[in-house]
């Protein structure tokens, strides 16, 4: 197991993220106020052409980059 952040320490101490969230919800505390978010997606340039973002067969081998190969 790997614990990288102080928040993950809290999750671990409470028995995992599910137990942490359930305890937080059942504690009766008021939910924190949501802050306005920033931009959630990258901007598309004005000179982009339709199909510029299409996935080609050449890129299928590398998609998705986060998954390990399953040869």
Please report the pLDDT score of residue 66 as a whole number.
Answer: 63
pLDDT tens for each residue of 38-65: 666 666 666 666 665 665 666 556 656 5
pLDDT > 60? residue 2 = yes
Token reading at 6: 């102080």
pLDDT > 80? residue 27 = yes
Handedness of CA 28, 3, 13, 16 (dihedral sign): positive
How many CA atoms, within 13 angstroms, populate the side-chain half-sphere of residue 31?
A: 6
pLDDT over 70 for what percent of the chain?
Answer: 42
């Amino acid at each position: 197991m790997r614990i990288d952040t102080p928040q993950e320490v809290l999750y671990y101490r409470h028995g995992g993220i599910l137990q942490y969230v359930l305890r937080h919800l059942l504690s009766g505390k008021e939910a924190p106020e949501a802050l306005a978010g920033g931009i959630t997606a990258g901007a598309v340039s004005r000179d982009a052409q339709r199909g510029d973002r299409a996935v080609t067969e050449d890129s299928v081998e590398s998609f998705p980059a986060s998954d390990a190969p399953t040869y």
